[in-house]
Amino acid sequence: MRILVANDDGYLAPGLAALAAACEGLGEIDIVAPEQNASGTSNSLTLNRPLSVYVAANGYRYVNGTPSDCVHVALTGLLDARPDLVVSGINNGANMGDDTLYSGTVAAAMEGYLFGIPAVAFSLVEKGWSHLQSAQRVARALLEQLVPTLAAGGGAMPFLLNVNIPSRSDAERLPWRITRLGRRHASEAVIRQTSPRGDPIYWIGPAGDAREAGEGTDFHATASGAVSITPLQVDLTDHATVPAWHARLCGH
């Protein structure tokens, strides 16, 4: 059993060490993470310059690139053997609803999934690392459920799970719920300032509040004291509207 650990908060983030600790003893572990915090970089790959891989004093490898770069480089040449599982996180803050489209944490896991490898993204709901040890125990418990099947069978269909863990001291005693992604309101307004040189500059504003947060969503689960586990897919096709678009645009 080989496990590749990545994240988007950078190789020095406490959440990465927590996830690596959660994997300990479950297999051979490789850690490849971004050199700098790359939150919000989604699935971007660095194509306009080469990437370098460095080894930190603790053995973690880090890349001067994005989360997707890390997993891509790891899978396509850096690692001696293909991992059986890719895990990402534990992220500093939730990745629920529309966040998943922007998330580097989810993207790192998704890069593994795109290569046909089962993958799990872990996020701690509140920013600031409070109760990270409890989240680590949740990650451990989930991996203990998943790993034996992977080690035994292999060959099973790859999956991509998005796990959000409430920031609570009793997180390991919370129930697990299989959820769907909720929706957020549109992001809040950009913050305009003036640079020291007098030019206008813009800070991307915070994400919007939850809009679709009803029963069954990730927002609802974490708000009501459960660990949210959302199985994700990559196909963005709006299958339901394909016939209508065909009739509207291809009928002549």
**Which residues contact Mn ion by CB under 5 A?**
8-9, 39, 91
Residue closer to Mn ion, measured from CB, 26 or 160: 160
What token pair was written down for 160?
A: 């991509």
Cα 52 to Cα 69: distance, rounded to the nearest angstrom: 10
Cα 193 to Cα 208: distance, rounded to the nearest angstrom: 21
Q: Kindly write down the DSSP assignment for every residue of 125-173, as one continuous string.
A: SSTT-TTHHHHHHHHHHHHHHHHHHHHHH--SPP-EEEEEE---TTGGG
In whole angstroms, how close is the CB of 91 to Mn ion at the nearest point?
5
Residue closer to Mn ion, measured from CB, 13 or 147: 13
Asked if 158 and 169 touch (Cβ cutoff 8 Å), the reply is no
In whole angstroms, how close is the CB of 105 to Mn ion at the nearest point?
5
Residue closer to Mn ion, measured from CB, 127 or 211: 127
Q: How many residues comprise the chain? A: 252
What token pair was written down for 72?
A: 């891509």
In whole angstroms, how close is the CB of 92 to Mn ion at the nearest point?
5
Residue closer to Mn ion, measured from CB, 97 or 150: 97
Residue sitting closest to Mn ion (CB)? 39
Residue closer to Mn ion, measured from CB, 9 or 172: 9
In whole angstroms, how close is the CB of 9 to Mn ion at the nearest point?
4
In whole angstroms, how close is the CB of 134 to Mn ion at the nearest point?
19
